[in-house]
Structure 1
Amino acid sequence: MQTNDVGILSIDQGTTSSRAIVFLKDGTTVSSAQQEFTQHYPNNGWVEHDPEEIWSTALDVSQQAIAAAKKQGVNVVCIGITNQRETTLVWDKLTGEPIYNAIVWQDRRTASVCEELSDKLDMVRSKTGLLLAPYFSATKVSWILDEVPGARARAEKGELAFGTVDSFLVWRLSNGKSHVTDATNASRTNLYNIHSQQWDNELLALFNVPAAMLPEVKNCADNFGHSDPALLGEAIPITGIAGDQQAALFGQGCFKAGELKSTYGTGCFALLNTGDVPVSSEHKLLTTIGYQLNGKATYALEGAIFTAGANIQWLRDGIRVIEHAKQTQSLAESLSYDHGVFMVPGFAGLGAPHWDPNARASLFGMTRNTTSAHFARAGLEAVCYQTYDLLTAMHADGMPSNSVWVDGGMVGNDWLCQFLADILDVQVQRPTIMESTALGAAYLAGLQFGLYESLDDIASHKHVEKQFSPQLDKTIRQGLIDKWEKAVQATLAFTH
């Protein structure tokens, strides 16, 4: 079989949509399909998804992408999965039916539980590289077991399964034959020891999660099972899994220590490859597994911003000052640097380096002259200022970087990329293929399947589409950063 006839299906199950892309070996897109799904907000600070809608949209787009690829003579030979991380599901092992909605990574309902466990922070950090925050899966699992009648007793009897979205999708795709996850998703649960690379009994006891619920943890490129022929037309091996941000790191080819990528989707996540050394942050960044191959973990330092594209989604759907996200570029370009309006987007609390789940979003500097253009520009600028905070923290942790690879839906906006370069004061490089998350899952699947010989083989497909260099006057830049920092401090002061 010629490799140009061979396709890799990448299932990218995100926070607001499910997408499937069929890639050729060189990263060329053959076909794709995407469906948005419903966001549920049952209480203040709660965010849920219907697991059946996650499954139905993921299956539907996969079927569409495979069918479209076949029409072009491309046969899908393996499947890679990447997913919204930390989002937590619990389902019946016999029927596969979820016992509660998926609790989304943005959800803050367990903030008080995390505060109660604060004396265990050092232990949790030393084992997981994470903080005690409602963001991670452990407290979400425990909440479901406590709140759904009879769930805890059933879990202890081994009747219930826990998984992040990747686990749930593989379970459904394999018709219940595979209960698995990969090391990157496991490393985001607060239940997994990233040093010993196994589920940790002390953490399971702390969060009161029965071990019988847990999936088997595998490498990112591994044999995860096969799809049921009734679903995708044939039994296709599932050979690659990584959480969305780690998949983007892999898709960007950041295989060397010191290489940095920043993804701009619903949220923004900057990951810096630290090699085989897990760097412990003194500035509230996360230490996480970047990817794991052949039993060997490559670690990363991560900064998380909870809302990036979500800022623009709020402007469009929440207060309706724009009709389309693409409008933001022309609106931003219509204003000068001293327009005076700053947005601190604490819609789901503030992530790194503040980690304040109780923070709220704020707007500063408005006058009667403030228009939709100011809102749009402030929403875009906030993403750049927050990325500056992440890189500043990384530098302070002894991990400087002079360039950043960007990807995600937002970076098609040239104005945003240029402002990012100006504020970060580094080179911003945008790859030819911007779907780095889906591409990373495809690379992992292709690596296990044998389509790629090595990481060098994968890296050979990486190309820069456009590079952005800093151009902003240093004095103006510093003045903007100073105002941003005042806005953040005022936001935090209001919270407390």
Structure 2
Amino acid sequence: MPELLLALDAGTTGARAMLVDPAGLVVGLDKRPFETAYPAPGLVEQDGAAVWEVCRAVIAGALANAGRTMTDVAAIGVTTQRASVILWDRGTGEPVAPILIWSDLRGMEAYKALRAAGFISWPQVPSAKLPAAIAMAHRPVGDLCWGTLDSYLIHRLSGGTAHVTDASCAWMTGYFDYVGGDGWDGALIAHQNLPESLFPRLVESWGPIAMTDAATMGAAVPITALIADQQAGMVAHGALARGAWKATYGTSGVLMAGTGEAPLSPHSSMPAEALAFAGGRRRFCIEGMVITTGSLIEWLCGPLGLFASPAALEAAARSVPDTGGVVIRPSLQGMGAPHGRFAARGLIGGMSFATTPAHIARAALQAIAFRFRDIADLIAAVPGLAVPEALPVDGGLAESGTLLQLQADVLQRQVRRHAVREGTAYGAALAAGLGAGLIGESELPRFARYDAEFMPAIGRDEADAAYAKWSAAIGVEA
């Protein structure tokens, strides 16, 4: 009898597939990168057909690594990065324009126009970029489907039978009805002169969603979870209650906290979001994003060429006791919450002839930790939210013990690292278990295992002074 849970996790820079057994142990994993194009400053694109092939490859790889086949899979959960735009042909499933990645800023002027017209929008969201994607397609709009990446992948997995999304993904499109809270914003769709048939059907975050196409995937398997990546990370930590929080260090960094059954927005840069709508119950959350997190490390290692690998950067950062006066503003694609300075660019300052690459490495990790404090302080101050003292974390960059120690120092809080770094994929697998009735919500905490804890090694006064000095150096007030 099938017993494994399969997660397909398509992030910004690559995809991973994960197989989880009934005990919550990862028994198969495969991950591969996507190719990303930057045709001009602020523009970020990917090839949808290539992304689909990578996703198929990681599923096959995870199954092969576990010595299993699709017939061993009981349920599938899909999680993706949010707010990217993809258009495809309704009949063939083939993309008709490049994927416009969430961090693409070609929608800046459109977002301003939408705000002026009275609609809720942000620079990165699809409502500011979908018309541009349609113009690139050069096809009759009635022949097309659009969605965020989850919609496209489930369309392909199901052999073209499902065109769906959930609230956690739809919320980030700019098209969601934020007042009614249960569908698409018809006024905005009419304002942009778009047909409603272009839009995916809304489904619950976990439960019966679709079936894979046996001819495409090797077996007909229920898809029982569809949830945005950061929200999937909350499932991985069992953090569905009001006040529960977690941080993910990925390509971008996100600190997210649950706000219960009512939407809450504590700051203009941190609007209310859907955490999960499932079982007839609605849960909401807030998040703050550090747009340049793991991508800062990749840039230092790749285009800038200072380090051979992230592991080499980690070793260099660990080799020095401080940054030697170097400060970094990690904003290669703008500063996210709580600053909302999308035109701000990266900064490296405070260098002298005594500066070494090791100082720059440590300054990069310290800058990420400081940016998370920007957000953590704001969330912790929300009246009645009562976040826990410890901050649970996951993500690829959480492998850096130096970063997590700096984070504990800066926050003056314990930092707990999830034993499964790929928290978004793990959460998607668990959500599939919820949707298939194989896991109960009350069981989620037992799957949240931690392999390291970091306690502050400096005092509050020293931490506050360092944070204030960094904030002043990069041009913001602490």
Shift of 1:414: 1.4
Q: 2:128 aligns with which of 105, 126, 139?
A: 139
Shift of 1:70: 3.9
Q: Which residue of 2 aligns with 1:180?
A: 164
Q: Which residue of 2 aligns with 1:109?
A: 106
Distance 1:227 1:392, change over 3 A: same
Q: 2:263 aligns with which of 267, 271, 278?
A: 278
1:419 aligns with 2:406: yes
1:446 aligns with 2:443: no
Shift of 1:208: 4.6
Letter in 2 for 1:266: T
Shift of 1:120: 4.8
Inter-partner Cα distance in structure 2 for 1:370 and 1:387: 25
The 5-angstrom pairing of residues 55-94 of structure 1 reads 55-71=52-68, 75-94=72-91
8 A Cα contact 1:105 1:136, kept in partner: yes
Q: 1:343 aligns with which of 325, 328, 335?
A: 328
8 A Cα contact 2:323 2:359, kept in partner: no
Shift of 1:215: 0.4
Shift of 1:74: 8.6
Q: Which has the higher mean CA deviation after the structures are superposed, 175-184 or 223-232?
A: 223-232
The 5-angstrom pairing of residues 309-320 of structure 1 reads 309-320=294-305
8 A Cα contact 2:8 2:76, kept in partner: yes
Distance 1:62 1:277, change over 3 A: same
Shift of 1:67: 3.2
The 5-angstrom pairing of residues 44-443 of structure 1 reads 44-71=41-68, 75-120=72-117, 123-124=119-120, 132-149=121-138, 151=139, 154-155=140-141, 158-194=142-178, 195-337=180-322, 339-398=324-383, 399-401=385-387, 402-443=389-430
Inter-partner Cα distance in structure 1 for 2:69 and 2:274: 37
Letter in 2 for 1:85: R
8 A Cα contact 2:15 2:33, kept in partner: yes
Shift of 1:110: 1.1
Q: Which residue of 2 aligns with 1:7?
A: 4
8 A Cα contact 1:264 1:309, kept in partner: yes
8 A Cα contact 2:323 2:363, kept in partner: no
User: What is the SS of the residue equivalent to 2:302?
Assistant: helix
Distance 1:429 1:120, change over 3 A: farther
Letter in 2 for 1:385: F
Letter in 2 for 1:480: A
Inter-partner Cα distance in structure 1 for 2:379 and 2:181: 25
Letter in 1 for 2:348: L
Structure 2: tracts of 5 or more residues without a match:
none
Shift of 1:331: 1.4
Q: Which has the higher mean CA deviation after the structures are superposed, 331-340 or 348-357?
A: 331-340
Inter-partner Cα distance in structure 2 for 1:145 and 1:105: 16
Compute the TM-score of the two structures, normalised by the length of structure 1.
Answer: 0.91
Deviations 1:6-63 (A, max 9, x none): 2111111111111111111222111111111211001111000100111000011112
Letter in 2 for 1:410: L
1:484 aligns with 2:457: no
Q: Which residue of 2 aligns with 1:21?
A: 18
Q: Which residue of 2 aligns with 1:129?
A: none
8 A Cα contact 2:4 2:74, kept in partner: yes
Inter-partner Cα distance in structure 1 for 2:168 and 2:69: 34
Letter in 1 for 2:157: L
Q: How many residue pairs align between the two structures?
A: 474
After superposition, the CA RMSD in angstroms is 1.9
Inter-partner Cα distance in structure 2 for 1:471 and 1:18: 36
Letter in 2 for 1:388: R
Inter-partner Cα distance in structure 2 for 1:100 and 1:424: 43
Inter-partner Cα distance in structure 2 for 1:461 and 1:95: 40
Deviations 1:310-333 (A, max 9, x none): 010000111100001012222112
Q: Which has the higher mean CA deviation after the structures are superposed, 197-206 or 367-376?
A: 197-206
8 A Cα contact 2:157 2:213, kept in partner: yes
Shift of 1:207: 4.7
